[in-house]
């Protein structure tokens, strides 16, 4: 057998060996919540990696070389959108040199299509207002209803990219939908006694969660989004909390705890750490356990 014969044989053999592996789509997501949803819908037909970890602030991510590599090989990129990743994703995408995942390509999925967005600013948005997102609050995944819509978008896009597996994705979506619906009734029962209760959060990560489960946020530890606590704002917040009898402060894992703890000691309250994303705490391993953890913490603190 001559050189070319061996070459062709090797090529055919490698293609055959690569068969099952090639059926797995390489998906890159910007957050662990999207990873959890992509895996729920995609099952073993997808291999998902995430850029931002759940315990990190998703507004700020260091561009590591491994992310560019992952994006270069990706078949599908799923992002949260609404300007959450504006500070770091565009540069990563352009460095990745992958035509499949450029904005507008089929491998670029903005998961915010069709979801319920809150806090859309009216009027002009300036830096003086802090780090305000002009397209509304991007932490929309913290509402199970939105989670359902996001999973459906992922199902549709996966089916578009891999039509042969469309029925598989549809089945997995239905199973996820059923699990989610069951969990939702459990959550509503848990949070029913605390409708209308007030609390304070560090950053504006929670409007969707609070609206869905009937809680009210009366103030923030940050004077403006992205601005660290200042003395007079902290003093004013303490006054407000005392006046309205608010005793619970919700803090994300990536913020300092000293200021919230000193506020809590002034008002006789508690600081609880909630997970804004899957992976934000060890107990939040997927989309449903994220809410299980957060709502259990809230219920215990509000009792």
Partner 1 sequence: MDPMLILTFLAAPMAASLIVAGIHAYLGLHVVERGVIFVDLSLAQIASLGATIAIVVPWLGGDPHSLGVYWMSLAFTLVGALLFALVKGQAANIPQEAIIGITYAVASAAVILAMSQSAGESEHLRDMLVGNILAVQWHEVWTTAGLYAVIAVFHYAFRHRFLLISTAPAAAVAQGISVRFWDFLFYASFGLVVTRSVAIAGVLLVFCYLIVPSVGGMLYSSRIGPRLAIAWVMGVVVSVLGMYFSVWLDLPTGATIVCTFGAALALMAAVRPLVLRLP
Query: Interface residues with partner 1 (CB under 8 A)?
Result: 55-57, 60, 62, 228, 230-236, 238-239, 253-259, 261-262, 265-266
Comparing CB distances to partner 1, the nearer of 47 and 53 is 53
Going by C-alpha positions, the residue among 52, 29, 49 that lies closest to residue 109 is: 29
Q: How far is the CB of 111 from partner 1 (least distance, A)?
A: 23
**Residue number with CB closer to partner 1 (98 or 277):** 277
DSSP 16: H
Closer to partner 1 at the Cβ: 43 or 130?
130
Question: Which residue number, 114 or 239, has a Cβ lying nearer to partner 1?
Answer: 239
Both tokens of residue 229?
């606590």
Give me the DSSP letters along 186-213.
HHHHHHGGGTT-EEEESSS--HHHHHHT
Burial class (CB in 10 A: 0-12, 13-18, 19+), 18: exposed
H helix runs in the chain, sequence order: 3-22, 32-42, 65-72, 89-96, 144-161, 166-191, 207-212, 231-244, 258-267, 287-302
Query: Cβ distance 259 to 281 under 8 Å?
Result: no
* Choice between 2 and 232, CB closer to partner 1: 232
CB of 67 to partner 1, least distance (A): 15
Report in angstroms how near the CB of residue 142 gets to partner 1 at its nearest: 18
Asked whether the CA dihedral 17, 22, 24, 30 is positive or negative, the reply is positive
- Secondary structure element (H or E) that encloses residue 48, with its range: strand 46-50
Shortest Cβ distance from residue 1 to partner 1 (Å)? Answer: 53
* Least Cβ distance, residue 68 to partner 1 (angstroms): 18
Are residues 169 and 55 in contact, defined by beta-carbon separation less than 8 angstroms?
no
CB-nearer residue toward partner 1: 10 or 235: 235
Residue 18 Cβ vs partner 1, minimum distance, rounded to whole Å: 35
* CB of 66 or CB of 230, closer to partner 1: 230
DSSP 101: G
CB of 254 to partner 1, least distance (A): 4
């Amino acid at each position: 057998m001559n050189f070319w014969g061996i070459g062709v044989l090797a090529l055919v053999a490698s293609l055959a060996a690569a068969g099952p592996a090639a059926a797995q789509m390489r998906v890159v997501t910007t957050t662990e919540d999207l990873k959890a949803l992509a895996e729920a819908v995609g099952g073993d037909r997808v291999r998902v990696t995430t850029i931002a970890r759940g315990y990190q602030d998703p507004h700020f991510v260091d561009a590591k070389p491994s992310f560019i590599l992952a994006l270069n090989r990706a078949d599908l990129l799923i992002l949260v959108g609404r300007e959450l990743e504006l500070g770091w994703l565009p540069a990563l995408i352009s460095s990745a040199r992958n035509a499949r995942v450029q904005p507008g390509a089929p491998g670029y999925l903005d998961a915010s299509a069709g979801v319920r967005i809150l806090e859309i600013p009216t009027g002009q948005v300036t830096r003086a207002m802090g780090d305000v997102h002009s397209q509304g609050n991007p932490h929309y995944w913290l509402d199970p209803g939105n989670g359902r819509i996001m999973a459906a978008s992922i199902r549709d896009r996966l089916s578009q990219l891999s039509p042969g597996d469309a029925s598989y994705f549809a089945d997995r979506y239905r199973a996820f939908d059923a699990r989610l619906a069951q969990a939702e009734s459990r959550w509503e029962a848990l949070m029913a006694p605390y409708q209308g209760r007030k609390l304070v959060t560090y950053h504006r990560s929670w409007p969707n969660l609070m609206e869905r489960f009937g809680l009210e946020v009366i103030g923030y530890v940050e004077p403006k989004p992205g601005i660290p606590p200042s003395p007079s704002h902290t003093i004013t917040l303490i006054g407000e909390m005392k006046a309205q009898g608010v005793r619970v402060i919700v803090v994300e894992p990536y913020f300092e705890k000293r200021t919230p703890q000193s506020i809590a000691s002034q008002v006789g309250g508690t600081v609880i750490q909630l997970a804004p994303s899957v992976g934000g705490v060890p107990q939040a391993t997927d989309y449903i356990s994220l809410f299980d953890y957060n709502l259990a913490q809230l219920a215990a603190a509000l009792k």
